[in-house]
């Protein structure tokens, strides 16, 4: 069974959208999305520097647009399940037919703006911890006032909190943690620091008419599959202030019988985790259109195996 996944914030790099805009119709689609959300996605995806695309209000819609664009380039694909990491859940909601492309981008644009506003209240950030045992790491983080904002599996936890708390973590690592790596994000996402953004998103989502998913949708909140569009949107609203449990999502992939996993553009982070946490599962990251042929071959192989 094939699982299609979408990465979260921090996966973006300068110019990563450039080769995708050469695909037939891609530039026109991106221009239409840009008009709909009031943000020049083509500029930020091709010309802007690392600091410009680190901006939460820019990075989030840019990642969702890239994910949708690269997935559609695969052709007529029906994966066995879809999921996204953090803001990637909006991409997954589009894959599953819960929100159309424009609605997903409009909502995520409001999410990015609201989270940037919340992040400006206090100087906060996030850092990945490499190595360590979650049973040791989580209590240590809580002792320092930090939140285990992403529990990603394969020994990776992302801590979030104030810059002072993160500095204390660097000086006092949990036992077994080899490195603490700051992430390219502008705030402590998926923590109490993002609570002001939840109310903004609730208001923005009130006018939506989400459809029920046409593909099995796996949620970050608890790794559960979610059957209704209304519940998926409710979870999208709440997840900005709640931890991402990607470890539980991968457990669900295993229960569903995953044999192949493709990560849409800008792929790499989630396939890296899957290689460690899902032994035997074939993985592929869509970085440029040059990866499309290999992705289609993997899709055909997974479809044949499922049949």
pTM: 0.93
Instruction: Identify the CATH homologous superfamily for domain 124-182.
Output: Malonyl-CoA ACP transacylase, ACP-binding (3.30.70.250)
Mean pLDDT, each 10-residue run in order, the chain (307 residues): 95 96 98 98 97 93 98 94 97 97 97 93 92 92 96 90 96 93 87 94 94 98 97 96 96 97 97 95 98 96 80
Q: Is 190 a catalytic residue?
A: yes
pLDDT of residue 307: 65
List 86, 94, 193, 219, catalytic entry: 86
Residue 66 contacts residue 265 (beta carbons within 8 Å): yes
Closest by CA to 84, choosing from 5, 173, 168, 3, is 5
pLDDT at 186: 79
List the chain domain ranges: 2-119+191-306, 124-182
Q: Which CA distances in Å does 248 have to 23, 151, 191, 222?
A: 35, 9, 18, 6
Please state the CATH superfamily assignment of the domain spanning residues 2-119+191-306 in this structure: Malonyl-Coenzyme A Acyl Carrier Protein, domain 2 (3.40.366.10)
Residue 168: both structure tokens together:
């204390």
| Polymer length of the chain | 307
Name residues whose C-beta falls within 8 Å of residue 199's C-beta, 6 or more positions apart in sequence: none
Query: Quick one: how far is CA 281 from the chain centroid?
Result: 20
Active-site annotation holder among 34, 85, 94, 190: 190
Look up residue 106 and give its two tokens.
Answer: 């409009």
Q: What is the 3-state secondary structure (H, E, C) of 61-75?
A: HHHHHHHHHHHHCCC
């Amino acid at each position: 069974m094939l699982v299609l996944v979408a990465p979260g914030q921090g996966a973006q790099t300068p110019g990563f959208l450039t080769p995708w805009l050469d695909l037939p119709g891609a530039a026109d689609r991106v221009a239409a999305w840009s008009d709909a959300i009031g943000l020049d996605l083509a500029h930020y995806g091709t010309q802007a520097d690392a600091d410009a695309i680190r901006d939460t209000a820019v990075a989030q819609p840019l990642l969702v647009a890239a994910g949708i664009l690269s997935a559609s380039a695969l052709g007529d694909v029906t994966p066995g399940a879809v999921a996204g990491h953090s803001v990637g859940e909006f991409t997954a909601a589009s894959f599953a037919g819960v929100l159309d492309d424009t609605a997903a981008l409009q909502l995520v644009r409001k999410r990015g703006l609201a989270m940037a506003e919340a992040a400006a209240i206090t100087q906060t950030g996030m850092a990945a911890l490499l190595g360590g045992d979650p049973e040791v790491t989580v209590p240590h983080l809580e002792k320092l006032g930090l939140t285990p904002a992403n529990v990603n599996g394969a020994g990776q936890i992302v801590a979030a909190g104030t810059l002072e708390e993160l500095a204390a973590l660097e000086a006092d690592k949990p036992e077994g943690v080899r490195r603490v790596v700051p992430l390219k994000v502008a705030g402590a996402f998926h923590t109490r620091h993002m609570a002001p953004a939840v109310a903004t998103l609730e208001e923005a989502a009130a006018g939506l008419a989400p459809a029920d998913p046409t593909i099995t949708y796996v949620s970050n909140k608890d790794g559960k599959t979610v059957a209704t569009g209304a519940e998926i949107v409710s979870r999208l609203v709440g997840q900005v202030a709640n931890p991402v449990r990607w470890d539980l999502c991968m457990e669900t992939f295993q229960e569903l019988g995953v044999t192949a996993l493709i990560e849409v553009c800008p792929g790499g982070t989630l396939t890296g985790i899957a290689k460690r946490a899902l032994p035997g599962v074939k993985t592929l990251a869509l970085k440029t259109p040059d990866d499309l042929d290999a992705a289609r071959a993997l899709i055909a192989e997974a479809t044949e195996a499922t049949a």
